Structure 1
Amino acid sequence: MKNVIVADDDPTARKILLRMLQPDYQAAAFADGRDALDYFLENGADIIITDLKMPRLDGMELLRRVMEVNPEVIVFVVTGYAAVDTAVNAMKMGAHDYLAKPFNPEDVLVRLERALKEKNLERQCTSYRQKQDLEAQRNPIITNNSKMQQTMDLARRSARTDSTILIQGETGVGKELMVRQIHRWSPRNEHPLVPVNCSALAEGIMESELFGHEKGAFTGADSRRIGFFEMADKGTIFLDEIGTADNRFQVKLLRVLQDHIIYRVGSPKAIRIDARVIAATNQNLEQEAREGRFRSDLYYRLSVVTISIPPLRERMDDVPLLADHFLAKYRHINPTVEALTPESYDVLLGYDYPGNVRELENIIERAMIIETTEMLRPESLLIHQTGTAKGRPAIKRPGAAPDTFDMKEVEKKHILHVLAACEGKKIEAARMLGINKTTLWRKMKKYGIDNL
């Protein structure tokens, strides 16, 4: 139950407000701002309703003190009349809204409930941003492959626009990671990225999940719910596994893309949505559309920009780089392991990775659990060398011969990539590389890397 503090020197107003708030809220009422502030400092509150003119401590001063302690508290100021200038000043100081006397009980309760919903949505958005930043730091897109770098260039250019993007690629190539990077590059990066697994949307709850619902819209709808599209307003909504969406889902999505409006279940009111849509699939959606298994009109709406991520077997020159990255990422599992043996690189370069980058990561993580020496050996990888895939040129391990990788060059490029991903912040880069800052400085000096 939410806690509400009422501060008003008018006993009739206090009595009316307490009657309105109970039993839905736990409310405490005070005749002046000083007592209300003392109670708040000791007990906290979710909402404060305060008159402006009170003895000892007026409403504006109470508002200022509360905002200093906890700016997340929702404050409503009470005026004897709808004084716009007073309300504006209060809201500039952090008040959520104002209530004009005489009170309309239904209006007051609706506005309190709406304020709580909006505050909850703000917290969710903040949580999404924090999670996205953390994931982006932990999982930078690492590549030296020319084809993958071209893909990244297209993603970077597309990120600056509001165009819908379709990302295609096999399972495990890093489609969600690409979406998160596009969102970080976009002007929308201060707003949420909301991921939706289309294959997990059951028909009975699809509309409620996507568009939200009003209280009482159906049995069990005890309160209003904000849907995924509304949560993603001004940000990005990521529709994963879009190829699995049934026809009913496709029709509704097409309408949203065309009109940019949604309707909560149980409400006739249109809500305008400004959310950038990025979809991803491991299917050939163009072929699915040609053969009638996916709506062609929706396919063309989604594929304004199509980004195809190549499978790992087509960019094997990234394998040593990725293997070193994952070894550093999971070094906390087994801090004694320093590096992979040359033979381990041979094994990794001889495998075709049907599970792509995700499989390579799992291989290294598992090997870190198994390994008992200071070097990661082939027997800990638990995969068998399969030779070179048909049609793919042979790639030898780093340092195996003069005509292939130079391990020092690989390490230098890896350090440069991580420094760029961390925007030159050496402490953060050292953490991602699994080394201390002094070691990073020495390596930068050794490889002639400028002090970014």
Structure 2
Amino acid sequence: MSVQDRNLKNRARVLIVDDEFHVAHAAAMVLSQAGYECETCPTVEAALKVLECKGADVIVADMRMPGMDGMDLLKKVQSKQPDLAVVVTVPLPAAESAKAALRGGAFDCVTKPFDTDELNAVVGRAVEMSTLQRENRKLREQLDVASIAAGFVAEAPKSRQLVAMIRRVAPSRTTALIEGETGTGKELVARMLHYWSNRADGPFLAINCKALADGVVESELFGHEKGSFTGAIRERAGCFERASGGTLFLDEIGEAGSDFQAKLLRVLEDGEVLRVGGSRPRKVDVRIVTATNRKLRSEVAAGRFRADLYFRLSVIPLKIAPLRERREDILPLAHHFLAFHSTDAGRPLMLSPQAEEALLSYSWPGNVRELENIIERAVVMSGQETLMPDAFAFDDDDSDEDLGAGLDPVSGPGAAPGSTIDSNHARRAARPAESKDEGTLQTTLDRAAAVRIKAALAAAGGNRVEAATTLGVDRTTLYRLMKRLSL
């Protein structure tokens, strides 16, 4: 099949940007006859608007235009849509401009006046490259989601039932409500619903409802037109439009205010959105998946959540059991996280039988997220290849003595041979009651990590490579931790 035949079948879209009307029109005529769908724009500003609303497969842009030129457009496209091929056009003598464009990431350069065969050939190669890059990116995204989904351990009966339910309901476009405690993996379930649906090729957009103030809800959800309010310097598509053809995940829906709830209900009922300042409703094809760590039925009974919206959202309810109720998942999850973070640290680690017993004996108030944090902290802080119970900083540990158990500022952490979870609990029970540290578990872990890193740096005289070796982590991991802890 020839390039022209493929273009006629798939109708690749080419955006031609040139301030000379007759030049742009001539290029559009040539490419249209070759089977491309063409649109012309006289300015870079107009082209950016068309890109946001309609998109394109290839851009053919003049290097020399008044105001923003082809190089400006190339830079903006490179930053926002690196898969989109840009072909620049230059007058025949402008060799330096062409070189600059190619160095800046342009796919190729065509001289003006156009040679019909050359223009067709270059645009054909650009379309094929753009298509290949987009397909590769989608494959990478699907592999990422597949990897994430594989990380959803389902050994416990409740977990197996949940996965079976997700697979059964994923192909529909019915709204789903995911309920579960903080840290149970609600967004992961939402991504699995998307990945196993026929919308997997479409976008997955996650929005935290708690982060949307009442004053910006309408603009964020539905978008706005240019000049519709102070600061609206250009039109902008809202969440529903950006997620059209895919899945919109609204996390922490129980935190949504009354204004948010009313506007969301309207979209669910009408299937269309009206931008702020707009006059024409826009149809959207999007599946809504919501999540909450609250009991929405109780919120409805208390008058804090609309009953009509609740019944719209909970057509398919999915409940994730807390980790303490699916203990068969604890060790498989721990081994999964240990393998991941051990690879990141560049050294193999394993759990001792006593460490496994400690993990099974803990109540996990922070669920899967807490388990991963504790495993990551143990990988960073431990200097041994086999993790013992003292490597873990559980939320029921009473003091910095426990957090630093076995930690030596120079030689690294370690647990006494033969120490067991029973002796650890007995030691804690035998101590007089002390006031607990304030803050979250992650805050406590960060404080302990900061103390350990500072000690290692001091012992190494500020040499980060030596400090990383002492801590048993690679240099990149140490730099990342220092940046996160502001050290």
Q: Which runs of 5+ in 1 are unaligned?
A: 74-93, 95-121, 387-452
The one of 91, 115, 118 equivalent to 1:57 is: 115
Correspondence list, 1:235-274, <5 A: 235-274=246-285
Aligned to 1:382, what secondary structure does the other structure show? coil
Q: CA deviation at 1:365?
A: 0.4
Instruction: For 2:168 and 2:373, locate their aligned partners in 1 and report how far apart those are by CA, in whole Å.
Output: 31
Structure-2 residue corresponding to 1:328: 339
| Partner amino acid, structure 2, of 1:343 | Q
Q: Show the 5 A alignment for 1:154-303.
A: 154-303=165-314
The CA deviation at 1:130 is 5.1
Percent of residue pairs bearing the same amino acid type? 40
CA contact (8 A) 1:215 1:221 kept: yes
1:345 aligns with 2:388: no
Deviation string, structure 1 residues 423-442 (Cα, Å, up to 9, x no partner): xxxxxxxxxxxxxxxxxxxx
Offset of residue 36 of structure 1: 10
CA–CA distance in structure 1, aligned partners of residues 178 and 162 of structure 2: 11
1:309–1:278: structure 2 CA closer, same or farther, 3 Å change rule? same
Partner of 2:123: 66
Task: Determine the C-alpha separation between the residues in 1 that align with 2:44 and 2:339.
Answer: 61
Match of 1:311 in 2: 322
Q: How big is each residue's C-alpha offset from its partner over 1:363-382, in whole Å with a ceiling of 9 and x where there is no partner?
A: 10000011111101110012
- Alpha-carbon offset, residue 35 of structure 1: 3.9
Cα deviation, 1:16-65, whole Å, max 9, x if unaligned, reads 9589986553169xxx99849976676259899x9xxx96612x741431
Alpha-carbon separation, structure 1, partners of 2:119 and 2:252: 51
Q: Mark the CA change 1:128 to 1:352 in structure 2 (over 3 Å): closer, same or farther.
A: farther
Whole-angstrom distance in 2 between the partners of 1:12 and 1:188: 37
Distance 1:57 1:41, change over 3 A: farther
Which residue is equivalent to 2:83? none
Normalised by the length of structure 1, the TM-score is: 0.64
Separation in structure 2 between the aligned mates of residue 151 and residue 18 of structure 1, nearest angstrom: 52
Partners in 2 of 1:62 and 1:243 — Cα distance?
A: 55
Following superposition, the deviation at residue 162 of structure 1 comes to 0.7
1:141 counterpart SS class: coil
Provide the residue aligned with 1:25 in structure 2.
68
Pair 1:56–1:317, CA change in 2 (3 A): closer
Distance 1:217 1:200, change over 3 A: same
The 5 Å alignment of 1:76-95 reads none
CA distance in 2 between counterparts of 1:20 and 1:200 reads 31
Whole-angstrom CA distance in 1 between matches of 2:305 and 2:316: 18
Q: Name 1:378's counterpart in structure 2.
A: 389
Relative distance call for 1:222 and 1:72 in structure 2 (3 A) is farther
Specify whether residues 368 and 290 from structure 1 end up closer, same or farther in structure 2 by C-alpha distance, changes over 3 A only: same
Amino acid of the residue matched to residue 248 of structure 1?
Answer: D
Map of 1:106-121 to 2, 5 A cutoff?
Answer: none
Residues 126 and 192 in structure 1, CA contact (< 8 A), matched pair in contact too: no
Q: Taking structure 1 as reference, are residues 9 and 355 closer, same or farther at Cα in structure 2, changes over 3 Å only? A: closer
The 3 A distance-change label for structure 1 pair 41 and 350 is same
Which runs of 5 or more structure 2 residues have no equivalent in the other structure?
Answer: 1-14, 28-40, 47-64, 72-88, 398-487
Q: Provide the rounded CA distance (Å) in 2 between the counterparts of 1:229 and 1:267.
A: 15
> What TM-score does the superposition give when structure 2 sets the normalisation length?
0.60
Residue identity in the other structure for 2:144: L
> Equivalents in 2 of 1:18, 1:315: separation in Å?
59
Give distance in 1, aligned partners of 2:145 and 2:24: 53
Look up the SS of the partner of 2:194 in the other structure.
helix
**2:338 touches 2:350 (CA, 8 Å); kept in 1?**
yes
Query: In the aligned structure 1, how far is the partner of 2:220 from the partner of 2:147?
Result: 29
Inter-CA distance 63–354: structure 2 relative to 1 (3 Å threshold) = same
The 3-state SS of whatever aligns with 1:215 is coil
The amino acid across from 2:365 in the alignment is: P
For 1:12 and 1:274, the matched residues in 2 are separated by 34
Q: Distance in 1 between matches of 2:165 and 2:218?
A: 33
Alignment counterpart, residue 43 of structure 1, candidates 101, 108, 119: 101
Deviation digits for residues 114-151 of structure 1 (CA, Å, limit 9, x no counterpart): xxxxxxxx99x997985564254246211211111011
Q: Does the CA contact (< 8 Å) of 2:167 and 2:193 recur in 1? A: yes
1:311 alignment partner AA = P
How many pairs align? 329
Per the alignment, residue 424 of structure 1 pairs with: none
**Residues 42 and 27 of structure 1: is their aligned pair in 2 closer, same or farther, counting only changes over 3 Å?**
closer
Corresponding residue SS for 1:331: helix
The match for 1:144 among 155, 175, 181 is: 155
Tell me the CA shift for residue 205 of structure 1. Answer: 1.4
- Cα 1:287–1:128 change in 2 (3 A) is farther
* 3-state SS of 2:337 partner: helix
Query: Aligned Cα RMSD in Å?
Result: 4.0
2:408 is matched with none
Pairing of 1:115-134 with structure 2 (within 5 A): 133-134=143-144
User: Separation in 2 of the partners of 1:283 and 1:331?
Assistant: 34
Distance 1:205 1:344 in 2: 48
